[in-house]
Chain A
Amino acid sequence: MRLTVENLSVSLSGHPVLREVSFTARGGEWWMVTGPNGAGKTTLLRAIARTVAYAGETTLDGHSLRSMRRGALARELGVLSQIHGDAGGQTVEEIVRLGRYARRTGLLFPRDPGEGEAVEAALAAAGLTELRGRRMADLSGGERQRVYLAQVIAQDPRVLLLDEPVNHLDLRHQQQLFQLLRAWLGQGDRLLISVVHDLSLAKKYGTHALLLSEGCPLGAGPLQEVLTDEALNAAWQMDVAGWMRSLAAVWDTPGTQA
């Protein structure tokens, strides 16, 4: 699999938010999109998912994403976004079932023969089998995020876009979610592209990185080559590595007050 992004630019109400971003991602890779606030990270994901107007070209295996129908696009590409509408009254299972929407075929009475199986597998993968009958409104933030993860697992795309998936999650749920994602990535010809704020998480789980600053790409490629100390310092205009080390050092000396 090959996802290419060529000279992608986005303007929102007249202001350029993303300028000439290009990169090529292949199956099995986990891309970390990172950069300071306002760098255009979320906008990049929205442009690839076609929920914002863009200039430039995005292709998957040579096919332009722009010209795909919504249904076809959803079979190739799933999105786990940060903020979700109020799905309050629906049950966990109903939300996960929605993930199969693009797999249904038929004009008058669309059906998806694989729905039952895929939903069961997704519920099991996200550890939600017990909670399947619960209403979304009654779940904690971490549980809810797992439901949306189960939904994209059921959707079964080859490319998964994640917008700060662990935002608002506590440490245990962060760890859980990243392990689930790594497992998902390992199950075939798949690609993960995630926006992350936490550079430690990015370095721990990512294979490739795209560093953005004020809409401009500072680097794209294998993680070690892109997230160098110099590049990070330039992007954040501070001693990033030094600060991260000083934070980590707190754990080595018991009893210190930071």
Chain B
Amino acid sequence: MRRLLRWLLPAALLLAALMLGVGAGSVAISPGETLSILSAALRGEAAAGSHAVILLSVRLPRVLCVALAGASLSLCGAAMQGLLRNPLADGSTLGVSSGASLGAVLSLAFGLRPPFWPEGGVMAMAMLFAFLSLVLILSLSLALDRSLQTGSIILLGVIFSMFATSCISLVTAFAGEKIKSITFWTMGSLSGSTYRDALVLCIALVLCGGVLLRFAPELNAFSMGEEEAAHLGVAVRGVKLTVLIAVSVLIGVCVSIGGTISFVGLVMPHMARMLSGPDHRRLLGASMVSGAIFLVLTDLVSRTIVSPMELPVGVVTSLIGAVAFVVLFRRTKGGRAA
């Protein structure tokens, strides 16, 4: 019974958040109507009425993308916090998100794209730069401080973020009329998402998320320290590299679709940890669900709070995240002093 509840309750909450996300907005659509529109669409009937059009072609793809991006970012945060044994690790604090943005912006401004995958230029560049930033920051912090302490990694991540942001500004200055689409990447918004975006996010989440979930026991072992994990039989380098690649790809995909949405990955795993405990076999799943719910609700706020205008969701998450970051940082400092 308890086991069942443990699965059913998050699923029900996620479903409720999704219903709220597609229903609420400048045009309110009741849950009953939402269901009938969805079932009609699933039966293959053409959308009839303005509500059906709004729901099916605007809100549903957006909410799906938001939920998938929330789940992905939160999962990445949880995995990195486990891997680096660092409560402040996340795509945004480690500079991965800004690195990915830089890649996306370079691709947009100068039309840089890999020859083997021209239409995926922005995405491929975002992924590549996400991975390169992660490798750069980790190797730099290793060179400066062999014990890979919390402080040095975060410091380098923040410095790298600033560096990447100035590079983006520099590129923007020379970008001419492409300025508008570039600004989008630096703010983070999922408005105008399509079903194609949702599909790409879904595939990325299934593949990379699957890899990360598979490594839950290894992440548990890492919590004792890397050397201890090796003593237990964990192939430390291989696991680390695989997890970092999966995280970079997932964050790269998220950034290429939604821009930099910071702090979801930092805050939500901590919330999830309070409910699920530190065991990664439960924590990773809990982080995904809570990340999805959180971002769906935040996105709802961002598009309704100053209606008919819309705030980029990244702005809202950053506002919430900045406060949460301070609280978390204080707590980790306090924990070490005690």
Contacts and interface: CB of A to CB of B under 8 A. Distances in A.
Interface of A: 46, 49-51, 69-75, 78-79, 81, 84-91, 94-95, 98-99, 101-102, 104, 108, 110, 151, 155
B273 A79 contact: no
Nearest to B231: A79
3 nearest CB pairs, A to B? A74-B233, A102-B233, A85-B225
Interface of B: 85, 214, 217-218, 220-221, 223-225, 227-228, 230-236, 273, 277-279
Contacts of A102: 232-233
Contacts of A89: 273, 277-278
B51 to A, nearest CB: 44
A79 B85 CA distance: 21
Given A70-B233, A74-B231, A108-B214, 9 more contacts: A71-B235, A75-B233, A84-B224, A85-B224, A85-B225, A85-B228, A87-B223, A88-B278, A98-B221
Given A94-B279, A108-B214, A110-B217, A85 B223 contact: yes
A101 B227 contact: no
A69 B235 contact: yes
Contacts of A155: 232
A108 B216 CA distance: 12
A101 B214 CA distance: 13
Contacts of B235: 69-71
B231 A98 contact: no
Nearest to B230: A51
B214 A87 contact: no
Contacts of B224: 84-85, 87, 95, 98
Contacts of B225: 84-85
Contacts of B223: 85-87, 90
B224 to A, nearest CB: 5
Nearest to B217: A101
30 contacts: A49-B230, A49-B231, A51-B231, A70-B230, A70-B235, A71-B233, A74-B233, A75-B233, A79-B228, A79-B231, A84-B224, A84-B225, A84-B228, A87-B223, A90-B220, A90-B223, A90-B277, A90-B278, A90-B279, A91-B277, A94-B220, A98-B217, A98-B232, A99-B232, A101-B221, A102-B232, A102-B233, A110-B217, A151-B232, A155-B232
A95 B232 CA distance: 11
A98 B217 CA distance: 8
Nearest to B273: A89
A86 B232 contact: no
A241 B229 CA distance: 40
A51 B226 CA distance: 10
A94 B277 CA distance: 11
Nearest to B283: A89
Contacts of A104: 217
B85 A74 contact: no
A86 B221 CA distance: 11
A94 to B, nearest CB: 6
A87 B220 CA distance: 9
Given A71-B235, A86-B85, A81 B228 contact: yes
A73 B277 CA distance: 30
B85 A98 contact: no
Nearest to B214: A108
Given A90-B279, A98-B221, A78 B231 contact: yes
B138 to A, nearest CB: 18
B89 to A, nearest CB: 14
Contacts of A86: 85, 223
Contacts of A79: 228, 231
- In this complex, the member of A50, A89, A104 whose beta carbon has the largest number of chain B beta carbons within 10 angstroms is A89
A91 B277 CA distance: 9
Nearest to A69: B235
B233 A51 contact: no
Contacts of A46: 227
A72 B235 CA distance: 11
Nearest to A107: B214
Nearest to B223: A87
A155 B234 CA distance: 13
B108 to A, nearest CB: 38
A210 to B, nearest CB: 20
Contacts of B277: 89-91
Contacts of A91: 277
Nearest to B277: A89
A99 B217 CA distance: 11
Contacts of B220: 90, 94, 98
Nearest to B232: A101
A104 to B, nearest CB: 7
A88 B236 CA distance: 21
A73 B234 CA distance: 10
B85 A85 contact: yes
Contact of A73 (B214, B233, B236, B279): B233
